[in-house]
Amino acid sequence: MLIKNLFLLLIGVFILSSCQQEERPVEKKKPNIIFLFADDQSFKTIQALGNSEIKTPTLDKLVESGVTFSNTYNMGGWNGAICIASRTMMNTGRFLWRAKKWEDQSIKENLSNQTWGKLMESAGYQTYMSGKWHLKIKPDSCFQTVSHVRPGMPKDTKEGYNRPLSESDTTWQPWDKKFGGFWEGGKHWSEVLKEDAVGFIENASKKEDPFFMYLAFNAPHDPRQSPKKYVDMYPVENISVPASFQPLYPNKEEIGCGESLRDERLAPFPRTEYSVKVNRQEYFAIISHMDDQIKQILDALEKSGEKDNTYIFFSADHGLACGEHGLIGKQNMYDHSVRVPLMVIGPDIPKNKKVEHNIYVQDIMATSLELAGIDKPAYVEFKSFADLAKGNTQQGNYEEIFGCYTTVQRMIRKDGYKLIVYPEAKKMLLFDLKNDPEELKNISEEEEEKVKSLFQDLLKLQEKMDDELDLKSVFPEMLS
C-alpha cells in the first residue's frame, strides 16, 4: 500500500508540474525596429500627402499602411550643415543647443554609450547601420554592424553649381557617371544602401534577438543624381513653379542665405523659373529612385517573415526649399525646409491615419525606446509619440515648435501662427498658417499684438532650450 500511495503521489506531482509548465506564459520577442532616414526631403514630396506631380508608390503605401504625422519638424542647426544638428539630436535625444554641447564634448571623450544604437544594444538588440552618418563620433562605436559609412554629401563638382543658365545648358546631367557623386564606386549610393539593408535583414532574421536598423540615405541631397529613366519620368514642361517663387529673397544676406552659402549657389542668381523647374525635376527623380530602393527593402522584410513583428519609421533630417521663396537650400524657417514627412507602421499601428499634433522628427528615437521596453534616460529630452500613433491618447507632445539657424534666424510656431525673427535684418515675419499655408503674406504689421505675444513665447523657449542669442536688445520695443 505504501508503494502504491507513493506512486500515486509521484504521478500527481508530475501532472501538477506539467500543468504549471503549460500555463507559464511564453516570452514574446521584442519588436524589431527599422529606421529609414532620407536627407533633405520636404514634407511636400510624397504623392499620397498632396503632391500630384511626384511618383512615390512605396512611400504612398507606407502612408496607407500606417500613421502619418502631418506636423513633424526639425529644430534647425548651428551651422550650414543642418543635417549635422538633426542627426546629432536624433542619436543623442538632446534638444539642439545641448546636442551641440554633446558634440563638442564627444570630440574629447567617447560618449558612444549615450547614443541610440548603444541604448538598443543594451536591451538585447542586434544593431545595424549603413549610409550617411555625419556625427563627430565614429558609427562603429555606436552600432555592432556598420557598412558603407557615407559623408555629409557625395562629392560635388563645379559643373553642378550655378545651373542651368538656359535651356541649352546641358553641361550637367544627373545620370552622367563621370561627375562621381552618387555614382562614386560604380553603383548609385541609394542602391548600395538597399543592398546593405537586404543583407542585414537576411542575417538578422536568422537570429533569435530582435534587430534595430539605422538606414540613412544620402538621397535626395544634392548633387541630385539618378538613372536617366527616373529623370525622364519628369519632363521639365510638366513641373510646376512654386506659388512662392521669386527671383531673389529679400534680406538673403542678413539671414545667412546669400551667395556665400553653398546650397544657395546651386541655382543662378537671380532665380529663373526654368532653373527652378530643372532643380525640382532632379529632386523628384532622385526621390522616385530612392522610393524604388525602399520597396526592395520592404520586400526583403516581408520575405524574412519578420514584418509582423517590426515597426518601420520613415522620415527625413529636414526639408528643402528647392526654388520656394527664392531659396534653394534648407537654411531657413519656412515649412518647406523645417517640416518633414514622418510615417510609422507596425503591429498595433492603425492604417491610413493622420495625426495633426506637433512633434519633432527626433521623437522617433524616444518612441523606439518605448516600443523596445527601454527606460528613457534622463538626458533624452525628446518625447515618445507611441500612444499618439496607436490612438491611445489625443494629448500632443508640444504646444509650440522652436526653430533656429545659427545666430541669424529664430522661429516659433504656435496656435496656427508662425513668427520668424531676423535679428541682423531687425525684421519679423508673421504668417497665419491656417489661411496661408504657403507662407506668402507677411501680416506682422497688421497683427502687432500677436507678434508681441509670440515674441514673448519665443523668449521663454530660448531659455528652455539654452539658446543664448540675445533678442531682447535687438527688439526692445517688444518688451513694453
The string of pLDDT tens digits covering residues 322-337 is 999 999 999 999 999 9
Using CA atoms, how far residue 103 sits from 128, 139, 214, 381, 409, in Å, is 22, 14, 20, 16, 21
Residue 156 pLDDT class (50, 70, 90 cuts) = confident
Q: Residue 480: its pLDDT value, please?
A: 79
For the cut 90, the answer to whether the pLDDT of residue 19 exceeds it is: no
Query: Residue 129: what are its φ and ψ, rounded to 5°?
Result: -145, 140
For the cut 80, the answer to whether the pLDDT of residue 17 exceeds it is: no
Q: How far apart are alpha carbons 257 and 246 in whole angstroms?
A: 14
Kindly report, residue by residue over 169-186, the tens digit of the pLDDT: 999 999 999 999 999 999
**Cβ neighbours of 251 (radius 10 Å):** 16
Residue 432 pLDDT class (50, 70, 90 cuts) = very high
14 burial class (0-12, 13-18, 19+ CB within 10 angstroms)? exposed
Q: Residue 26: its pLDDT value, please?
A: 52
> What is the reported pTM?
0.93
For the cut 60, the answer to whether the pLDDT of residue 9 exceeds it is: no
For the cut 80, the answer to whether the pLDDT of residue 16 exceeds it is: no
Helix (H) or strand (E) holding 129: strand 126-132
Decide which of 13 and 265 is more confident. 265
* Ordered alpha helix ranges (H), 249-358: 273-304, 335-338
For the cut 50, the answer to whether the pLDDT of residue 246 exceeds it is: yes
Give the chain's largest Cα–Cα span: 107
Kindly report, residue by residue over 337-387, the tens digit of the pLDDT: 999 999 999 999 999 999 999 999 999 999 999 999 999 999 999 999 999
Kindly report, residue by residue over 252-307, the tens digit of the pLDDT: 999 999 999 999 999 999 999 999 999 999 999 999 999 999 999 999 999 999 99
For the cut 80, the answer to whether the pLDDT of residue 1 exceeds it is: no
Type of residue at 395: Q
Q: Residue 352: its pLDDT value, please?
A: 97
Type of residue at 138: K
Residue pair 201/301 in contact (Cβ under 8 Å)? The answer is yes
Kindly report, residue by residue over 83-140, the tens digit of the pLDDT: 999 999 999 999 999 999 999 999 889 999 999 999 999 999 999 999 999 999 999 9
Q: How far apart are alpha carbons 292 and 314 in whole angstroms?
A: 14
What mean pLDDT comes out for the span 210-229? 98
**Cβ neighbours of 229 (radius 10 Å):** 11
DSSP label at residue 273: H
For the cut 80, the answer to whether the pLDDT of residue 433 exceeds it is: yes
Q: How far apart are alpha carbons 428 and 443 in whole angstroms?
A: 10
Q: Find all residues with CB under 8 Å of 16, minimum gap 6, and list them.
A: none
Q: How far apart are alpha carbons 169 and 176 in whole angstroms?
A: 15
